[in-house]
Amino acid sequence: MKKTLTLLAFLGLLLNGFSQNPDSVFIKTIFDIALTSRVAYHNLEILTNIAPGRLVGSEESIVALKFFEKYFNELGADTVYLQEFKTPAWACDSSSVSILIKKSREIHLTCDALGTSLSTPPSGIVAEVIEVQGLEDLEKMGTEKIAGKIVFFNRPMKDTFVNTFAAYGDAVDQRAHGPAEAAKYGAAGAIVRSMTTSLDDFPHTGSSRFKDAKIPALAISTLAANQLSQELKENPKTKIRIFVKSRDLPEITTYNLVAEIRGKVRPDEAIIVGGHIDSWFNSPGAHDDGAGCVMSCDVLRIFKELNIQNNRTIRAVLFMDEEMFQAGGNAYADFVGQSGKRPYLALEVDEGAFTPEGFSVDASVSIVQKLHSFKPLLEPYGIKYIIKGGGGVDIYPLKKSGVPLVAYVTDPQRYFDMHHSGNDTFDKINYRELNLGTGCVTTLIYLIDKYGIE
């Protein structure tokens, strides 16, 4: 206790220093509301219960849209509407991977199809496996070794990266481009080690980009990958059976959800806060990105509750289809482009509900400096940096119209334990970490609205 109290005295000094400042006093009020409420937490519990696996085109995605539409209406937002657009989509009905031991025996491996995998015949595809450590191995091996086989991409995400996003960036080409590359050499199918540093039995799916030839492609869990790799060491001629039943949906109609509190002085200058409403078919999507949606809702709730006289419009946008084709982000950018009303700034919340770390800003140097000048006000709440960096996938299409982009950044250690898997469940959410994030995002938007970014 002693040690803690001395340390807290130090942190307290930090806080007191700023509490002379009227902004600090008001920001404390924002955090008091953010930290003592369970509204966002409870919304996330409901969302993950009523609409797990809410991939674009699914019934669940519409359930999720309606849930948030009702929430915004009950909150008394000035404007709530669904912004319609059309997009291709894809759905997975079932999948399996098994090692053939004898004619009568197969060992099942935990798996999920990658989006947008081709279907196999109903009896699956049986073939030998060729294990590789990356795309560069394919060229060395060539068509002779690869054709007719199932390519197994097994380079792990590295534990040695301190930031797990770097480890993901280092390994994800295998999932994103591996199957398409394998198809070029005539592979019958592809399986990919799950993109996680965790050793467990959850398959982590994600999008795989095909250009010309499509093949069946699946993710297997890291434990399954280790098991298969061991089996191949003992018997390089091991065959496996892969099965995927999926459907291409050439054109569906879907929506982004938009809700606003109108600006009192400059209503045409909208500050956007948003996340994406869709999640992979295998995942409740609690951290990715149910959290971003309920936090965006909560920003509007706090503005309403504190009766903040916002100069600019505060606009929540819940984007559809971040995961597969980024159709919602593109459709929204087209929509505002046509309206001729360029948003003032857009902030994306899509790194999970973990302890806040900072904000990264994709804008001119002067705007980055202006936002950075707000950092002392956010430091008592855990914000370590506001720096030049990227925005986010959903808001990226707004960049071409010159909209400054901001991403909320969190502690990355646990994110890929859950990402794109059935492990991304509500019980992995800590309500304090969620609420601290909402406080940080609300505060930054409050300061942007009050002081502008010029």
CB of 339 to a copy of itself, least distance (A): 25
- Pick 289 or 433: Cβ nearer a copy of itself: 433
In contact, 35 and 439? CB cutoff 8 Å:
yes
- Pick 299 or 405: Cβ nearer a copy of itself: 405
- Pick 53 or 115: Cβ nearer a copy of itself: 115
CB of 426 to a copy of itself, least distance (A): 13
- Pick 243 or 396: Cβ nearer a copy of itself: 396
CB of 208 to a copy of itself, least distance (A): 15
CB of 150 to a copy of itself, least distance (A): 27
CA distance 74 to 71: 5
- Pick 216 or 391: Cβ nearer a copy of itself: 391
- Which amino acid, one-letter code, is at 209? R
- Pick 125 or 172: Cβ nearer a copy of itself: 172
In contact, 205 and 114? CB cutoff 8 Å:
yes
CB of 161 to a copy of itself, least distance (A): 8
- Pick 255 or 332: Cβ nearer a copy of itself: 332
CB of 260 to a copy of itself, least distance (A): 25
- Pick 36 or 307: Cβ nearer a copy of itself: 36
- Pick 12 or 236: Cβ nearer a copy of itself: 12
- Pick 120 or 435: Cβ nearer a copy of itself: 435
CB of 380 to a copy of itself, least distance (A): 7
Q: What are phi and psi of 404, to 5 degrees?
A: -65, 135
CB of 198 to a copy of itself, least distance (A): 8
Task: Name residue 257's beta-bridge partners.
Answer: 82, 318
CA torsion 387-390-396-402 (nearest 10°) is 40
The site for a copy of itself (CB under 8 A) is made up of 1-8, 10-11, 31-32, 35-36, 38, 159-160, 162-166, 169, 172, 197, 199, 355, 360, 362, 380-382, 384, 387-393, 396, 405, 407, 409, 411, 413-414, 417, 430, 432-433, 435-436
CB of 282 to a copy of itself, least distance (A): 21
- Pick 1 or 74: Cβ nearer a copy of itself: 1
CB of 31 to a copy of itself, least distance (A): 7
User: 12: part of which helix (H) or strand (E)?
Assistant: helix 2-19
CB of 381 to a copy of itself, least distance (A): 6
CB of 362 to a copy of itself, least distance (A): 7
- Pick 283 or 326: Cβ nearer a copy of itself: 326
**Of 350, 355, 274, 282, which Cα lies nearest the Cα of 315?**
274
In contact, 268 and 330? CB cutoff 8 Å:
no
Task: Determine whether 364 is exposed, middle or buried from the number of CB atoms within 10 Å of its CB (0-12, 13-18, 19+).
Answer: middle
